[in-house]
Amino acid sequence: MKKIIISRLFLYKHRFGIVYTLLALAFIGLLFLMPLIAPAGLSQAEMESVVTSNNTNLTTIMHGDIVDLPYHILQKYSVKFLGLHPYAIKLPSIIIGLILGLLLIALLNRWFKNNVAIIASILTVLSSSFLYVANSGTPLIMLVFWPTLLLWLGSKIQGKHAPRPIWCFIFAFFLLLSILTPYLIYLAMLIVFFVLISPHLRFTIKSLPKIPLILTGLVILAGTGLIGYISLRHPTALATLTFIPDFSWGQYLKNLTSAFLPFFSWHGNVESTFLSPLVGLASLALALAGLFSTAKGFFASRNSIASFLIVYTVIISGLFPDAAILLILPLAILIAHGIRYILTKWYDLFPENPYARVFAIIPISIFLGVIIISDVAHFMFGYRYNPPVAREFNNDLQLIEQNISDDTILLIPGGTLEYDFYKILEQHTNITVTSNLPEASTASHIASLGKWPTDLELSLVEIITSSKSENSDRIYIYTAN
C-alpha cells in the first residue's frame, strides 16, 4: 500500500490559499449584506456627512472646505447615482472597508507567518468594531484606513533592498491625502518622528535612492503648502484638522472617558453610537499577551508601531473622542503577536510530536468560532435592541420611502439638520420638502416629520410610528380641507 505523504496532498499544499479565499468570501458577503441587517437606521453624524457631501463642489473646495474631502466626494456620487437611500449613504464606507480589510490581511501576512496572520485577520476583520466602521456612513473609517494604508506602503518600501521609486511617490501622495482627515496631521508628524528614532528605519531610508527621496519630499512640501493655503482661507477647516476650540483639560479628560468607555464597558449601558464593548475579552486578552511578549524587542518596527499608535490614539482621543476607533489597527498587530506567542509556546512543549500540532487545530477552531459568532451576533442584535445605542439611530428615511407617495409636501422645521438632509430627497423623488406650507396649498397629501404646530386647517388621516424612537409618532399625514 502506497504511503500517504501529507505534504503532497492538495488541501495541505494550498491550505493557506483556501483559508484566505474563504475568509475573503465571508468578509465581502458579510460587509455588503450588513447594512440590510444592522444598524437599523441612520445616526445624526451620518445625516451631517450626507449634507456635507451633497454641498461639496469645486467652489467649496477652493474656498477651503477640504476636511475628509476624498470620502465626501465618494459619498456625493454614491447618493447622486443611487438616490438618498441608507445603502447608498453607507456604500463608500463599505468599499473603503473592503479595501481596509484586504490591507490589514496583507499587512499581517507580510509581518507574520501565514498561520498567525490568518487567525489575526479573522479576529480583526470580523470583529464588531471593524464591522461598525465599515457600515457607518461617516468619514470615521478614514481614521483607520489612512494609517493602515501608510503602514502597508511603508512595508513595501522597507521590505526591499532597492525599492522602486514609484512606491516613494505613492506613499507621499497618500500621506498628503491623509492629513485632510482631522488630527491625522499629527500622525504624519509621528511617522517622521518614528523614522528618526528607529535605527532599522533610519538604515532603510539611507539605502533608498536619493533622487526619489528628494522628489518625494518636494511633493509633500508642495502639497502641504497648497492645503495650508486653502485652509487659511477657511479657518474653520484648519481648526477642524488641527485642534478643538476653547480647549480645557477638564474637557480633554471628559473626552477621554467618553472615547474609551464603549471599548471596555462590559455592561453595555453606554450612551454612544459605539456598541460596548467594542473589544471582546478574548481579543483583549490576546492583545495584552502580545504586548507583554514583545516588551524585549520593543524597537523592532512592528512592535513599537503598535505601541506608538496606542499612545497616539489616546492623546488624539482627548481632542476628538471618535478617534478611539483607531485602536483597531494596533490591536490587530498586538493580537497577531499574542497568537504567535501562544502557538510558539505550544510548539515548544512538543517539539518532536506532530500529533500535538494537529491536535491544536481543534481548540483553535472552537476558539475562533466562538469569538466570530459572538462578535457578529453582538453587532447585529446590539444595534437593534440595546436601548442606549439603538436610540442614537432613526429610521425616518425608510418610513418616508415606505409611507409617503410622490407629489406629497413634507413639512420639516427650517434651519434643522433634518431639513437640510431631506431637501436632498427632492433631487431624487417628486416629494417637496418645505418648512412653511402655503395657506392656499392644493396638495392632496401633506406630511410632517414630528409634531407640527400650525393653525392651518388640515385633516389628520394617519400617524406613522417607529420602534426606533422613544417618541414613536414620527410622521403625521394630513389632507388639505
Write out pLDDT tens, residues 368-393: 888 888 888 888 787 777 777 777 78
Strongest mean pLDDT among 5-19, 75-89, 391-405? 75-89
Strand ranges across the sheet with 473-480: 432-434, 409-411, 446-449, 473-480, 458-465
- pLDDT over threshold 70, residue 442: no
pLDDT at 1: 44
Q: Which distant-in-sequence residues (6+ apart) come within 8 Å of 463 by Cβ? A: 473, 475, 476, 477
Chain mean pLDDT for the chain: 78
Q: Which distant-in-sequence residues (6+ apart) come within 8 Å of 421 by Cβ? A: 47, 50, 51
234 SS3 class: coil
pTM (predicted TM-score): 0.85
- pLDDT over threshold 70, residue 298: no
* Rounded-to-integer distance, Cα 188 and Cα 440, Å: 59
Q: Which domains does the chain possess?
A: 6-390 (no CATH), 395-480 (3.40.190)
Closest C-alpha to 27, from 134, 150, 115, 144: 134
- Cell numbers for 11, please give them: 488541501
Q: If you average pLDDT over residues 305-327, what whole number do you get? A: 83
**pLDDT tens-digit map of 329-373:** 888 888 888 888 888 877 777 776 666 666 777 787 788 888 888
pLDDT at 74: 93
pLDDT at 175: 84
168, burial (CB in 10 Å: exposed 0-12, middle 13-18, buried 19+): buried
More confident residue, 242 or 184: 184
